[in-house]
Amino acid sequence: MFEIGLFSAVVFAAIWIVIGSIVAFLPRPYHPPFALLLLILLFPLIPYLWIAGNPFLAIMFVLGVGSIMRWPFYYIGRMGLRKIGVPIPKDPFEKTNFQSEPKDD
């Protein structure tokens, strides 16, 4: 029914890139749920590109994804480094639950 082929892998990767670009144009409150969905979709898509195409194609796709999803990767990397004990200063832009602080009038 579903054949592993280079064409289908490239089409799925292109659809992922288009959806990621559309999400980037949405207002900021919509970013976290869509970013999580796109990150979940990466786990099967990258090996699919690797197997169907070649490692170079998968690496190029990962670099393109890093360009679109740079802030989630930045914060995931900081969190991972903190978990292994590397001292990292608190980022002033890092908020919990993606919410801004209340303003005092």
Its pTM surpasses 0.75:
no
pLDDT tens profile 44-63: 999 999 988 888 989 999 88
Q: Please state the separation of Cα 32 from the chain's center in Å.
A: 10
Cβ atoms of 52 and 41 within 8 Å: the answer is no
Question: Of the ranges 26-30, 42-46, 101-105, which one carries the lowest mean pLDDT score?
Answer: 101-105
Say how far apart CA 97 and CA 14 lie, in whole Å. Answer: 30
